């Protein structure tokens, strides 16, 4: 499900696309993992409710550093960003027991496409505040899953080639 593709939001959709933020799934030929970070939600969000990265995560969480696995160029590198809850430990054990050869997709809070807002080399460290433009961090999305205040979430970024 697209984060902003709802009836009656055509103007907002056009504005996001003008910023390089896509709400429709593009034809992705290949993507590589860029990096991920675990962050704590500062508020509860119900499925179907609007929120944003800035409102969901406090400043300190958005400033956590992670290492880049690929080069990124400002306004040139396309990114796919996913946010999803970390499954409970017992569920992870079950998944490990039978996932060999099976692709398991965790329920996502949101997934969207945007452009990098920083130029960095592979191996350098950055944060979500550095990697994503403030307009992207403030962009509202519709939560596809429930999130509780204090819940640990993973923000995963991929480079679209």
CA–CA gap between residue 139 and residue 16 (Å, rounded): 8
- Evaluate whether 120 touches 71 at the Cβ level (below 8 Å): yes
Distances (CA, A) of 117 to 68, 71, 76, 88, 126: 14, 12, 9, 33, 11
Q: What is the pTM of this model?
A: 0.75
* Chain segment 46-56, per-residue pLDDT in tens: 999 999 999 99
pLDDT number for residue 87: 76
pLDDT of residue 3: 44
How do the domains of the chain map onto residue ranges?
A: 10-160
- Residue 106 carries which DSSP code? P
Residues 51/45, Cβ–Cβ less than 8 Å: yes
pLDDT digit string (tens) for 86-141? 877 666 666 665 556 665 566 788 999 999 999 999 999 999 999 999 999 999 99
Give pLDDT, residue 7.
40
Side-chain-side CA neighbours of residue 37 (13 Å): 20
4 has pLDDT over 60:
no
Instruction: Give the number of other Cβ atoms within 10 Å of residue 125's Cβ.
Output: 12
What DSSP state is assigned to residue 7?
T
Flag whether pLDDT at 27 surpasses 90. no
């Amino acid at each position: 499900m697209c984060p902003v593709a709802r009836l009656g939001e055509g103007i907002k959709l056009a504005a996001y696309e003008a910023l390089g933020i896509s709400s429709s799934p593009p034809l992705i030929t290949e993507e590589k993992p860029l990096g991920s970070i675990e962050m704590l939600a500062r508020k509860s969000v119900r499925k179907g409710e609007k929120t944003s990265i800035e409102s969901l995560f406090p400043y300190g969480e958005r400033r956590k550093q992670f290492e880049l696995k690929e080069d990124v160029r400002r306004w040139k590198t396309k990114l796919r960003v996913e946010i999803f809850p970390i499954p409970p430990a017992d569920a992870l054990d079950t998944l490990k027991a039978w996932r060999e050869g099976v692709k398991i997709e965790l329920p996502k809070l949101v997934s969207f496409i945007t452009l990098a807002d920083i130029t960095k080399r592979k191996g350098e460290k950055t944060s979500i505040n550095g990697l994503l433009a403030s307009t992207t961090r403030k962009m509202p999305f519709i939560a596809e899953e429930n999130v509780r205040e204090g819940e640990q979430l993973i923000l995963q970024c991929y480079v679209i080639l």
